[in-house]
Chain A
């Protein structure tokens, strides 16, 4: 634990980074089968480029927390193999764009071995990765690729929107019996939120109604949920009551909670950071209209980023990214105000 995080905790709040760190620490303490591997993650290499794994190899030993070569196929393959033999490996893929390298291991093996073996084997691995546009990291270090994995049966995809959720959901991934992709946002990593209760696992597959409202539902996950709270607060002053449904687990999606909310409000705005076309938002919208066509008071709208490569220039990157103002405008549009 860093000194800064320790002092923050005194005020009852922690950062996302501290939440990730603490979840990994507590999981390793709770279960000796939890092991970790990834580039630079051991303390000798600084405890990870984002310091999430700092202290873990010193405390739990280099045999359980292993720095690997820059070999993403070897990293995910080793995680898969160890999980087949009863371990719960947590593999770090430093940045999400690097996950394109071990796609075969993830899609053809991690996701499918349970099914193809007729349930004789399963792959309880967690793949932690980090990404997100807005930090000037350009076209190969910023992409949100969650839709690729949500499209593959057998995978679970998790994106937290608060530090406490990050802690509970990461534990949820580690102790889940299926392969989980856990996405950490690089832009909000220093933002704070209430500290979680030690050891409290958030089970996967359940959405969270993060704010209760009556006029319109904002449905999404990750960073835009944080924007949605600010907008909901602002609109409340105008008498607009916004409900926020945070999926937490993007896939498999908790359709029931989404539909319950939209059936109540009759209006929905679906938000995510990834580009709009063929994104997870399209799936959410489809499920809403398939079930609630006659009950909708307005078309379901999407707010997402532009269908282009993430640009470097701050001016262009801002134009690429979805904007909080777009969410507000979409909410107003569904209400005709």
Chain B
């Protein structure tokens, strides 16, 4: 983890080159084998759900627009373990990993992908608009960059109510080039809002390479313009991601304001499901595959001695059983009544 913030915690400009991996770290929490296991479990849940969706799509058993999070599991999981169910999440169309890390239950999630009346949004939002306030999943947007200003508002409400909640907003590298990103970071810093901006830099904005569209080497550097702590971290490294997340969430919860985290990662399944990904050079893809965070984290869990192969297999079996149950629930559920089209356009006071 490198601290590329232009400002230290007390707002003074940091020296060139930023701080070292541990300097400036405010979190005293230790990354124990137990913490690693928690990250693994969330990541594996994401991974197994994603595999199931891709299997369903390939076999034609599901027809839905799908943006696979394959490769970005650790980013979401290592952040998710620091959040409370009452904390807020604002995510994007590629947000299933964030929603699962936040704790969304599988049944309403699967049913929404299946466009059923029992879906989280009664089949009216779909994969790109998953909402589940009981677990803090407040907004899933299909518009790049639009979540950041909304996250500020959720955080503003928490600040006014002093409810101690933290708002996490996730977005991709492409979003850091849209105006809303800059407006939102500036306001969050001015108002010292309890928000964490998590940029999941998967190195491609749709089909365009990061370097072709983004003028800075690291999006974390952009925090300096808003006198906000900014960190660039290997999002696929469970420990680094866990530490960066712990610090940002703690800072927000302590009323010390927002943080921008840039988590470097990679997406293995392209922009959308079925994307041939011809724009990614094979050598580049293979280099990332060699560093695939899932096998890497699994090996770390086993090496730590916190769990055995058999225990991990047991966990997989449990998750798979829950997935099958959710899938069956979705398949068995009815489609929405057509009368539903006139409901939820306006509220009852209309």
Contact = CB atoms under 8 A, between A and B. Distances in A.
A294 interface: no
B105 interface: no
A324 B322 CA distance: 69
Given A104-B143, A116-B125, A74 B344 contact: no
Contacts, number: 164
A77 B148 contact: yes
Nearest to B160: A63
Chain B binding surface, main DSSP class: mixed
Interface stretch (A64-72, A130-138, A207-215): A64-72
Interface in A69-124: 69, 71-74, 76-87, 89, 104-105, 108-109, 113-122
Contacts of A86: 157, 161
Interface stretch (B62-70, B181-189, B327-335): B181-189
B219 interface: no
B184 A85 contact: no
Given A85-B153, A178-B350, A115 B191 contact: no
Nearest to B169: A81
Nearest to B180: A73
A118 B122 CA distance: 5
Interface stretch (B75-83, B126-134, B234-242): B126-134
Interface residues of B, number: 51
A104 B125 CA distance: 17
A113 B346 CA distance: 10
A121 B131 contact: yes
B344 A81 contact: no
Contact of B153 (A89, A122, A156): A89
A19 interface: no
Given A76-B149, A104-B143, A105-B146, A118 B123 contact: yes
Interface of B: 88, 90, 119-126, 129, 131-133, 138-139, 141-143, 146, 148-161, 167, 179-180, 183-184, 186-187, 190-191, 343-350
29 contacts: A63-B160, A73-B183, A74-B183, A74-B184, A74-B187, A77-B146, A78-B149, A78-B156, A78-B187, A80-B153, A81-B151, A81-B154, A84-B154, A89-B153, A105-B150, A108-B146, A114-B346, A116-B121, A116-B125, A116-B126, A118-B121, A118-B131, A120-B121, A120-B131, A122-B347, A153-B345, A156-B346, A177-B348, A178-B349
Interface of A: 35, 63-64, 66, 68-69, 71-74, 76-87, 89, 104-105, 108-109, 113-122, 153-154, 156, 176-178, 203-205, 252
